[in-house]
Structure 1
Amino acid sequence: MSDEQQDTAQDTAQDTAQDTAQDMTVERHGDVLHVAFDRPHRRNAFTRAMYLGLRALCDDLAAGTGLGAGARALVLRGAGGKAFAAGNDIADFLGRTGEDGGLAVAYEEEIRGMLAALLAAPVVTIAAVDGVCVGGGLAVATHCDLRLATRGSRFGYPIARTLGNALAAPVVHRCASVFGEPLTREMLLASRLVGADRAHAVGAVMDVVPDGAALDVAVADLLEGLGAASMATLRATKEQLLDRALRLEAAPADDEERMLRVYTGADFAEGVDAFTAKRPPRFTD
């Protein structure tokens, strides 16, 4: 990457950081992109704008343009030390229940497109998890290549006890590929959160560190190693693993129909109402 290209990429990164300051920050240090989900008051819950920002960043990486020009790695983390990301902002689902549930399905498809772009990114992607990593946060983390976590971090999909919605099949399959089927069943069917040590034991997390400061060190050490690696090797390996994922984790033909049934159902409408009213949901289906 030339000095001029790097200066342009860094200037673009600064502009993007200013544009997205309300939801997430994007910074470029050398050939590494650092993204911080910056909504600690909401446990960094994802908004549609954040998903669109991540998709645009992944598109830049795929094209080798803008922020993605000459990049070697992408690091994702949450601000505040309490959460990587705690699902989706429920405000994005308001007005998308009942007969309008198709809008929620379309939103899920939009999210899935972003996740597919993240999985296919031609750089090494790292989720640095410090705190709760659930729902959409876990989907993003499992679509990264590598995960590091602090000891107090927890992972899960407690949607059966919160919103009463459902995950697209490829998202479930990706979780099973990373955490294994038994823990995926536990997270989704028993609505239990999995601690960092258990995640490490099954290989879902490559290392567990005591706290956020140690996480910074672990990320820096990992990036130092990646900096000496052959990008040709890394890209080829990622392409091979992506080919495997696309074959094994594809959605079945009836998945959209299944999702529409859930999002137009009474339980999802009740889940959204209960969440906004800050009361336990009373599911009936």
Structure 2
Amino acid sequence: MNETRTLEADLLYEVRDGIGRITFNRPQARNALTFDMYRRLAEICTGAGKDRALKVLILTGAGDKAFASGTDINQFRAFKTPQDAIDYETGIDHLLGTLEQCQVPIIAAINGVCAGGGAGIAACCDIRIGVKTAKFGFPIARTLGNCLSMSNLARLSALIGAARLKEIIFTARLIEAAEASGLGLLNEVVEDRPALDRRADELARLVASHAPLTLRSTKQALLRLQLKVQEDEELILMCYQSRDFREGMDAFLNKRKPQWTGE
């Protein structure tokens, strides 16, 4: 069993047996996100591709009230110039792009309110499961009166459609888990927090057992389609010229379980 831990007051990161678990750890504030938490999350996702032992990430929030309720409003008190607003949205776009580009699959285990920046983060994860009390939304039209960047709007509209996205933002409502499942915001709904943790671990072990290059190329190719980038030759060659592809063929023909290395 391999195990590493990074303990920071507001964000916890643990890796065990190839599965990394990131926890937003401000339950007293419904896991509202600070700028330092955004920065640390981006660092973890950037470094994930450099650790061959890491196969999958689970992203969740502490407690049973919230995954992440958005950016901590106190963070905005430091804004003094127009550039502060531009820099903030640019930073959010960078973080979400880092999640999308992360070399390993990311599972969001959503345990309550998932709003604002938290909903943006969840939308960029590869698989989203949530408890039946989970709620999604961007209630900025009735709270701060700010907006989402065009890049963030593009990500969300690609996921649920522009018409539905406008309705959600214009009404500033939070979507219940059953509706979120129908929209594709949730892949699966479970009963409660213990069931969520069990299912997230089960999914993570399943995904971690599969060929890393297949998962990576699929993730990258779908992102390129979203961005209307039609170049995939190096992704095809990455898989078909890999040791894993030869290992997969040999294992299949010899009726044994393949030993994936990501090479």
TM-score, normalization: structure 2? Answer: 0.83
Match of 1:240 among 215, 221, 224: 221
Equivalent residue number for residue 238 of structure 2: none
Equivalent residue number for residue 217 of structure 1: 198
* In 2: Cα distance, 1:113 partner to 1:96 partner: 19
Match of 1:141 among 122, 126, 138: 122
Aligned-partner SS, 2:78: coil
Maintained 8 Å contact 1:87/1:134: yes
Equivalent residue number for residue 147 of structure 2: 166
Match of 2:96 among 112, 115, 131: 115
Percent identity at matched positions? Answer: 35
RMSD: 1.6
Equivalent residue number for residue 174 of structure 2: 193
Greater CA drift, 163-172 or 177-186: 177-186
Maintained 8 Å contact 1:179/1:199: no
Aligned-partner SS, 1:147: strand
Maintained 8 Å contact 1:55/1:118: yes
* In 1: Cα distance, 2:207 partner to 2:118 partner: 24
Unpaired runs of 5+ residues, structure 2, are 230-263
AA paired with 2:221?
Answer: Q
Maintained 8 Å contact 1:180/1:202: no
How much does 1:83 deviate?
0.3
How much does 1:101 deviate?
2.8
Give the paired residue count.
Answer: 229
1:134-153: per-residue Cα shift (whole Å, max 9, x none)? Answer: 00000100011110010011
AA paired with 1:134?
Answer: A
AA paired with 2:93?
Answer: R
* In 2: Cα distance, 1:110 partner to 1:150 partner: 29
Maintained 8 Å contact 2:69/2:114: yes
- Whether 1:46 and 2:27 are equivalent positions in the alignment is no
Give 1 or 2: higher helix fraction.
Answer: 1
AA paired with 2:187?
Answer: M
- Whether 1:92 and 2:75 are equivalent positions in the alignment is yes
AA paired with 1:199?
Answer: A
Maintained 8 Å contact 2:67/2:110: yes
Equivalent residue number for residue 131 of structure 1: 112
* In 2: Cα distance, 1:181 partner to 1:108 partner: 20
1:219-270: per-residue Cα shift (whole Å, max 9, x none)? Answer: 122123213311121111011012123338xxxxxxxxxxxxxxxxxxxxxx
1:91-137: per-residue Cα shift (whole Å, max 9, x none)? Answer: 2111315xx13212202211211110111001111110010000000
Equivalent residue number for residue 227 of structure 1: 208
AA paired with 1:25?
Answer: L
TM-score, normalization: structure 1? Answer: 0.77
- Whether 1:74 and 2:57 are equivalent positions in the alignment is yes
Unpaired runs of 5+ residues, structure 1, are 249-285
How much does 1:179 deviate?
2.6
1:136-193: per-residue Cα shift (whole Å, max 9, x none)? Answer: 0001000111100100110000101100111111111211222333331222111111
Equivalent residue number for residue 265 of structure 1: none
Aligned-partner SS, 1:185: helix
Equivalent residue number for residue 11 of structure 2: 24
* In 1: Cα distance, 2:123 partner to 2:141 partner: 19
Aligned-partner SS, 2:43: helix
